[in-house]
């Protein structure tokens, strides 16, 4: 049995399948962790999501912002942005099944066997792993609840909000979703800056993973979301897997058991 993680698929089905073939992925005994953004922007979102759905017993997804947006558009009856290339998904006879399946998936997981925390965008430096996992469960309760439309209707917005969850469910949901699916840079106050997205070398802001907290961590932190990093964090235990396949780069697979990386060709 082997455990693997792959960075953002974003509808790039062919390199995804080639990577799985390269490591002889066997869904009857291996397990695959996808760090989110399975769909949107690439040529075959339907192929990616259908493969995941058909092999769901062997796959865990930590939802990304594009995945949540797909769920929200479906439940709120909104048309997706044409540039996301999701028409085939919405036209599929399994569309509702895909949405129901994604709602069963978490925002974060922790693998004790390889001391690895996995989420789409990372973990806030002020959150320990136990708290982060509890926050993931809390958000999942919201997007699995009968009030899910209320949460998705009010999920968006660039307003800077306190990153410490409080007692208001909607504020909690926004905070948790922003950290796990949209975070890149932090202000000096520790609040999220959700407007800057580029290379850290071109910003005065601090990437979340450059906080001193990660210098003494024994755990690994595995994430995607930030293609501009090109897979480089310069931290031994902070591993970026979004290497911009949908933008002409490679797709990256990580063997969680031994740290070996594979790049799509």
pLDDT at position 246 over 80: yes
DSSP annotation of 27 reads: T
Report if residue 169 sits inside a domain.
no
Report if residue 55 sits inside a domain.
yes
Report if residue 126 sits inside a domain.
yes
Range of the domain at 79: 3-135+214-263
Report if residue 228 sits inside a domain.
yes
CATH of the domain at 47: 3.60.21.10
What are 137's two structure tokens? 């469960």
The predicted pLDDT at position 135 comes to: 94
pLDDT at position 157 over 70: no
The predicted pLDDT at position 107 comes to: 98
Report if residue 237 sits inside a domain.
yes
> pTM above 0.85?
yes
Contact 122, 229 (CB under 8 A): no
**How many angstroms separate the CA atoms of 136 and 62, rounded?**
10
Report the domain count for the chain: 1
pLDDT at position 27 over 60: yes
- pLDDT 10s digits, 113-141: 999 999 999 999 999 999 999 999 999 99
Q: What angle do CA 146, 147, 148 make, to 5 degrees?
A: 90
Report if residue 80 sits inside a domain.
yes
Report if residue 167 sits inside a domain.
no
**How many angstroms separate the CA atoms of 2 and 27, rounded?**
10
Please provide the average confidence, as pLDDT, over all residues in the chain: 93
Report if residue 22 sits inside a domain.
yes
């Amino acid at each position: 049995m082997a455990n693997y993680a792959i960075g953002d698929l974003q509808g790039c089905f062919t390199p995804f399948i080639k990577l799985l073939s390269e490591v002889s992925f066997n869904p009857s005994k291996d397990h695959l962790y996808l760090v989110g953004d399975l769909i949107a922007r690439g040529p075959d979102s339907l192929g990616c999501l259908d493969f995941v759905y058909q092999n769901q017993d062997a796959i865990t997804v930590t939802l990304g912002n594009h995945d949540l947006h797909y769920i929200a558009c479906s439940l709120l009856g909104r048309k997706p942005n044409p540039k996301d290339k999701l028409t085939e998904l919405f036209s599929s006879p399994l569309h509702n099944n895909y949405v129901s399946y994604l709602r069963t998936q978490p925002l974060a997981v922790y693998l004790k066997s390889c001391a690895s925390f996995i989420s789409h965008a990372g973990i806030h430096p002020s959150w320990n792993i136990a708290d982060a996992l509890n926050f993931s469960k809390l958000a999942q309760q919201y997007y699995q609840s009968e009030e899910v439309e209320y949460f998705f209707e009010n999920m968006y917005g660039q307003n800077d909000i306190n990153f410490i969850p409080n007692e208001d469910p909607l504020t909690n949901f926004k905070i948790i979703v922003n950290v796990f699916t949209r975070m890149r840079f932090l202000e000096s106050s520790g609040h999220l800056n959700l407007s800057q997205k580029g290379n850290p070398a071109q910003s005065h802001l601090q990437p979340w993973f450059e906080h001193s907290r990660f210098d003494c961590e024994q755990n690994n932190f595995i994430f995607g979301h930030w293609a501009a990093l090109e897979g480089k964090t310069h931290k031994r235990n902070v591993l970026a897997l979004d290497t911009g396949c949908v933008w002409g780069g490679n797709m990256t697979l990580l063997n969680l058991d031994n740290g070996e990386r594979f790049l799509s060709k």
